[in-house]
Amino acid sequence: MSSGIVFHLLATLAYAALAAVIWRPMTHPVQDSAIALRSCKLLLLVAIILHGIGLHQAILQGPRLYLGWALALSAAVWMGLIVFWLENLVLRIESMLLLLLPAAAISTAMVTIFPQGIMVAHASDEWLRMHLIIALAAYGLITVAALQAMLMTALDRQLHRPVQDADNRSLLNRALDTMPPLLVQERLLFRLILAGFIVLSLAVLSGAIASIQLSGIPFPLDHKTIFTLLSWLTFGVLLLGRHVRGWRGRIALRWTLAGFAFLLLAYTGTRFVLEVILHRS
């Protein structure tokens, strides 16, 4: 078992344990969920460090780069957790951990279950390495934005449901009660989308430069390029619609999830089909 797999397994256990800690007050209302969320900050940093070491050991193998669909998903979630950690220093958004921690546990566990991948060609090219780092940062930002959109969708649905007695409320409803107000969540969502769009633009630009150096073609018509450009256009239209038409609410949530789906298909989805379903590298 490689050291990258070992550290991913340790990160999985850490994320799962933290998720159990913060979800327990939802099933035992006598406990204070806010205290549980705040107490997880330092432990979360430890889990993020374990996760990062696992990615470093798995992806950076000397002068070579090793990537697979599960590693790409794990790296995106890891970058997203770093973004959350930094945002949480400014905004009180600890309640997002109710979604982030289970997602992190699942993504790191996937690496231990599906460790297969490929050696990246031309890994010594500096522009290609820079492009991969920027692309993973963009994936991380947009992954957190997508989770934020899912959270806001659930909050929006809860607001339109009849009020229930406290004793009859489901576990999910009690969890949603701990979330910041919807307007605060919307501001955070568009901050994430704007940052993700800027970094994704840099990823498209650096990818074009690397492609020109390696093949002479800035935008090869492969699935990765097509879905990445579709994601970039989707978020660009969303930000333009927000500025010009005041888009918000469900329209913004749908566009966010659509852009995330395109970006997911750009690498993770297609690699999953090739590596797991078709057993091809």
Q: What's the pLDDT at 255?
A: 93
Residues 266/228, Cβ–Cβ less than 8 Å: yes
Closest CA to 172 of 110, 108, 102: 102
Banded pLDDT at 278 (limits 50, 70, 90): very low
Phi-psi region of 234 (alpha: psi -120 to 50; beta: other; left: phi over 0): alpha
Q: Which residue, chain included where needed, has tokens 């327990």? A: 24
163 phi and psi, to 5 degrees? -70, 135
Residues 260/145, Cβ–Cβ less than 8 Å: yes
Domain range for 51 is 3-277
> Which of 126-140, 194-208, 234-248 bottoms out in mean pLDDT, i.e. has the lowest?
126-140
Distance, in Å, from the CA atom of 34 to the CA atom of 49, rounded to the nearest integer, reads 24
Closest CA to 194 of 245, 256, 133, 251: 256
Q: What's the pLDDT at 50?
A: 94
Q: What's the pLDDT at 10?
A: 94
Beta strand ranges found along the chain (DSSP E): 60-61, 64-67, 118-119
- Three-class secondary structure of residue 89 per DSSP: coil
The count of structural domains within the chain is: 1
Higher pLDDT, residue 35 or 256: 256
Express each pLDDT in 148-161 by its tens digit: 888 888 877 777 66
Query: Going by C-beta distance under 8 Å and a sequence separation of 6 or more, which residues neighbour residue 264?
Result: none
Residues 36/25, Cβ–Cβ less than 8 Å: yes
Does pLDDT of 71 surpass 80? yes
pLDDT above 70 coverage of the chain, percent: 77
Query: Going by C-beta distance under 8 Å and a sequence separation of 6 or more, which residues neighbour residue 180?
Result: 91, 92, 93, 95
Structure tokens at 269: 């989805």
Higher pLDDT, residue 223 or 77: 77
- Single pTM value for the model: 0.77
